[in-house]
A and B are shown apart, each in its own frame.
Chain A
Amino acid sequence: MSGAAWLTRSIRLVLLVALPLGFALTVKHFLSLDNLYAIFQSFAFLGLLALGLSVTMIAGEFDLSVAAMATVAGLVTIKLVVLGPVAAVLCAVMVGTVIGIGNAVLLPWLQISSLVTTVGTMILLNGVGFWLAGGRVLSYDNFDVSDALDQTLLGIFSPRSLITILCFLLIAAFLQFTKLGRDIYASGGHRRAAIQSGARVGLALVVCFAISGAFAALAGSLISLSLATASATLDSTTLLQAAAAAIIGGVALGGGIGSPASVATGVLILTILNNGLGLLSASSTELLLVNGALLLIVVLLDGKAGQALMDLRRKTAQTKRRNVTWQG
């Protein structure tokens, strides 16, 4: 592990411990069970989006359509909830998976970056969203599903947050213990070398985008059931939040680096930070500023600034050693 990588990893771990500790000491109610439940509720939505997105990032690609996919999946779910909530969620996830696969299939065919293809898909999905909503907010009156999904389990969890945690575990096992998982890392690290060494790059990309689409759809589907509502408009910062969480967690934009554990770390850091600042009455503008500053610091430390810092530290240590030797 390089010096800079060690530095940023340490900073992430410190943040994950220091943030809750700092808020616990300064903010009343932060450690209450109800507030920890609120933290995991936020984790449930952002975590799923960031997890799916990070799998494409590990493979050296980027799926810009995840937020739009979540919106469309929410609308599909509420439209089809008459079939039963489970069937509606499955249909929405199926739509997400198919669109994700479509994104991957377009890549070799069009020979262009996934940023371009998925921005096209994102705009298309925005249009589909407005078409499905028909200028209205879709809602349904049965709140039993919402109550069931968001009921408190073990004090701080809900079925929705446990579903997200389960997805993290499944993807961690998939990436760690399967050949296809290793092919995904190889595709993101050195694509040409991966192809030459026989890695199934095409299949890896299809699986990555399918996971990304499916998880975005699952996130949108579950939040729409939780709110008993879906609309064609989603907060424009959702995609940025998911990408920020993945990057803060340590997933490299260049591919090949990152894991579900690191994504979970990034999501938790952002969620705890926003929760604590929320208890301190921070406005949405201040939250955005702090999130942006944190992301910038992590990116800088991941890059040349971190390397320069480590070089400076090494040189200072060498100079001190020389001085000790000379004085001796």
Chain B
Amino acid sequence: MSQGHKRQNYLRNLMLGTVAAGLLGIFGGAAPAWAAAKGSKVILLTVSQSCEYCALHERAFLKAAAADGINVEVKINNFDAGQQASQVDQAVAEHPDAIVVWPADASAIVPSLRRIKKAGIPLVVTNSMPNPKYQSLWNIYTGPDDLGNGQQAGEAMIQGLKAKGYTGNTDIFVILGVLGTPPQINRLDGFTGVLKAKAPMVKIDGSQPGNWDQTQATDAAAALFTQYGAHIKGVYAEADNMLAGVIVAAQRAGLDPKTLVLVGSNCSVEGVNAITAGTQYATVLQSPIDDGNYAAQAVADLLDGKSVPKTRFLPHPTITAENVAMCNAAIGR
């Protein structure tokens, strides 16, 4: 498939995803009592600056919000749910025109969302969606669909195994993010769900947490390569930086990464480099720039009283060597 064709698919998926979410979701509706976006004060409650994705998200949000004339106050915490609850208390005390929150923990944020709702402050949740049964607590959610992300990775794994001629019983292992975090749980659920449904012959021999960290992922993969050795034909890491650790561990174990089907996620610089070098088969795009822009657009539309879809997911196309340039463009490199 040509690169132009892939780009068309990407745009089509983006449009279809947005339209579908709009049709399926409950519309935010007009909000005549709220301040207009221009000149309004919005508080962005976000997470760690030490994570590249988070920093790019914040930068994109601030740029887009500034273009809409929104004054943004940022409160950052280090993925600490307790601290974020205090920050929400503080944000409510400031009576802003709207709040945008990236939950440090998608479950622990629910009581805080209840407080925001009680205070009557318009709310956009970004990046991590709490359980949809509480969706009456927020006006709009924008961000990734981690289940869909994992499903795309599963599809890429099946496609890669077929392309490299691994048919029949095939062994793979998985490197996970921080256990218990929503992206870790949902991506794994999506990945295993697709394999179970479409490729039951592919067996996940083991999994270890790499905690979203390359060094820890290298150690975890080294242990799994030692345990299962030459039987392993593929690895799924829930993030590209962890997959970079898997590639190092494979080389140390005397395996050629190019013979393996290595699938990551996020389209970070490690993934782009490895796909270009041919050591990584595929990744799944999740652009922090789009993530930040979607949230800023949502809060501006909400304050301007426009009808906006309740849920707006980021597109998650599969990226391989054929369309890796799409990754660069979406992340702004």
| A40 CB to nearest chain B CB (Å) | 10
Q: Give the contacting residue for A229; candidates B105, B178, B181; CB below 8 A.
A: B105
Given known A-B contacts A37-B89, A42-B86, A237 and B74 have beta carbons under 8 A apart = no
Q: Which residue of A lies closest to B48 (CB)?
A: A284
Q: Determine the chain A residues whose CB is within 8 A of the CB of B50 once the complex forms.
A: 285
The CA of A229 and the CA of B87, in the complex, are separated in Å by: 17
B63-92 vs A: 1/0 string, CB under 8 Å?
A: 000000000011111111111011101101
Indicate if the CB atoms of A34 and B49 lie closer than 8 Å: no
The CA of A130 and the CA of B93, in the complex, are separated in Å by: 35
Q: Give the contacting residue for B92; candidates A34, A233, A278; CB below 8 A.
A: A34
Indicate if the CB atoms of B108 and A227 lie closer than 8 Å: yes
Indicate if the CB atoms of B90 and A279 lie closer than 8 Å: yes
Q: Determine the chain A residues whose CB is within 8 A of the CB of B74 once the complex forms.
A: 281, 283
| A281 CB to nearest chain B CB (Å) | 5
Indicate if the CB atoms of A284 and B49 lie closer than 8 Å: yes
The CA of A139 and the CA of B92, in the complex, are separated in Å by: 24
Chain B residues 113-163 with CB under 8 Å of chain A are: 114
Indicate if the CB atoms of B76 and A283 lie closer than 8 Å: yes
Q: Determine the chain A residues whose CB is within 8 A of the CB of B254 once the complex forms.
A: none
Given known A-B contacts A143-B111, A279-B94, A283-B49, A34 and B89 have beta carbons under 8 A apart = yes
| B167 CB to nearest chain A CB (Å) | 32
A307 within 8 Å of B by Cβ?
A: no
Indicate if the CB atoms of A235 and B82 lie closer than 8 Å: yes
Q: Determine the chain A residues whose CB is within 8 A of the CB of B80 once the complex forms.
A: 234-235, 237-238
The CA of A130 and the CA of B181, in the complex, are separated in Å by: 12
B204 within 8 Å of A by Cβ?
A: no
Indicate if the CB atoms of A232 and B180 lie closer than 8 Å: yes
Q: Determine the chain B residues whose CB is within 8 A of the CB of A137 once the complex forms.
A: 105-108, 180-182
Indicate if the CB atoms of A235 and B79 lie closer than 8 Å: yes
Q: Determine the chain A residues whose CB is within 8 A of the CB of B48 once the complex forms.
A: 284
| B157 CB to nearest chain A CB (Å) | 21
| A212 CB to nearest chain B CB (Å) | 19
Given known A-B contacts A135-B179, A235-B78, A284-B49, A38 and B111 have beta carbons under 8 A apart = no
Q: Determine the chain A residues whose CB is within 8 A of the CB of B95 once the complex forms.
A: 29
Indicate if the CB atoms of A228 and B110 lie closer than 8 Å: yes
Q: Name, among A227, A232, A234, the residue most crowded by chain B CB atoms within 10 Å (CB to CB).
A: A227
Q: Give the contacting residue for B93; candidates A32, A133, A227; CB below 8 A.
A: A32
| A136 CB to nearest chain B CB (Å) | 5
Chain A residues 288-318 with CB under 8 Å of chain B are: none
Q: Determine the chain A residues whose CB is within 8 A of the CB of B76 once the complex forms.
A: 283-284
The CA of A237 and the CA of B114, in the complex, are separated in Å by: 27
Q: Name, among A38, A136, A150, A285, the residue most crowded by chain B CB atoms within 10 Å (CB to CB).
A: A38
Given known A-B contacts A284-B77, A285-B49, A235 and B83 have beta carbons under 8 A apart = yes
- DSSP majority for the B interface? mixed
Given known A-B contacts A136-B185, A143-B111, A284-B76, A227 and B85 have beta carbons under 8 A apart = yes
Given known A-B contacts A37-B89, A137-B105, A233 and B178 have beta carbons under 8 A apart = yes
Q: Determine the chain B residues whose CB is within 8 A of the CB of A238 once the complex forms.
A: 80
The CA of A32 and the CA of B48, in the complex, are separated in Å by: 28
Q: Give the contacting residue for B81; candidates A32, A41, A227; CB below 8 A.
A: A227
Q: Determine the chain A residues whose CB is within 8 A of the CB of B81 once the complex forms.
A: 227, 229, 231
Q: Which residue of A lies closest to B80 (CB)?
A: A235
Indicate if the CB atoms of B111 and A227 lie closer than 8 Å: yes
The CA of A41 and the CA of B111, in the complex, are separated in Å by: 14
The CA of A276 and the CA of B46, in the complex, are separated in Å by: 18
Indicate if the CB atoms of A229 and B75 lie closer than 8 Å: no
Q: Which residue of B lies closest to A285 (CB)?
A: B49
The CA of A51 and the CA of B322, in the complex, are separated in Å by: 60
Q: Determine the chain B residues whose CB is within 8 A of the CB of A229 once the complex forms.
A: 81, 105, 107-108, 110
Q: Name, among A35, A226, A279, A284, the residue most crowded by chain B CB atoms within 10 Å (CB to CB).
A: A284
Q: Give the contacting residue for B78; candidates A130, A227, A231, A237; CB below 8 A.
A: A237
Indicate if the CB atoms of A223 and B180 lie closer than 8 Å: no
The CA of A29 and the CA of B41, in the complex, are separated in Å by: 14
Chain A residues 33-49 with CB under 8 Å of chain B are: 34-35, 37-38, 41-42, 45
A229-265 vs B: 1/0 string, CB under 8 Å?
A: 1011111011000000000000000000000000000
Q: Which residue of A lies closest to B133 (CB)?
A: A141
Q: Determine the chain B residues whose CB is within 8 A of the CB of A227 once the complex forms.
A: 81-82, 85, 105, 107-108, 111
Indicate if the CB atoms of B89 and A38 lie closer than 8 Å: yes
| B199 CB to nearest chain A CB (Å) | 24
Q: Determine the chain B residues whose CB is within 8 A of the CB of A143 once the complex forms.
A: 110-111, 114
| B285 CB to nearest chain A CB (Å) | 26
Q: Determine the chain B residues whose CB is within 8 A of the CB of A136 once the complex forms.
A: 179-180, 185
A117 within 8 Å of B by Cβ?
A: no
Q: Give the contacting residue for A35; candidates B83, B93, B179; CB below 8 A.
A: B93
The CA of A234 and the CA of B85, in the complex, are separated in Å by: 14
The CA of A143 and the CA of B110, in the complex, are separated in Å by: 9
Indicate if the CB atoms of B179 and A130 lie closer than 8 Å: yes
Q: Determine the chain B residues whose CB is within 8 A of the CB of A150 once the complex forms.
A: 111
| A282 CB to nearest chain B CB (Å) | 8
Q: Determine the chain B residues whose CB is within 8 A of the CB of A146 once the complex forms.
A: 111, 114
Indicate if the CB atoms of B179 and A232 lie closer than 8 Å: yes
Given known A-B contacts A231-B180, A281-B74, A284-B49, A41 and B86 have beta carbons under 8 A apart = yes
Given known A-B contacts A32-B93, A235-B78, A281-B74, A133 and B179 have beta carbons under 8 A apart = yes
A-B residue pairs, 7 tightest by C-beta: A34-B93, A38-B89, A235-B80, A229-B108, A227-B108, A35-B93, A139-B107
In the complex, 8 of the A-B residue pairs with CB atoms within 8 angstroms, ordered by the A residue number, are A29-B93, A34-B89, A41-B86, A135-B185, A147-B114, A227-B111, A235-B78, A278-B90
* A136-B179, A137-B108 known, 10 other contacts, Cβ within 8 Å: A34-B92, A34-B93, A35-B94, A45-B82, A136-B180, A137-B106, A137-B107, A229-B105, A233-B181, A283-B49
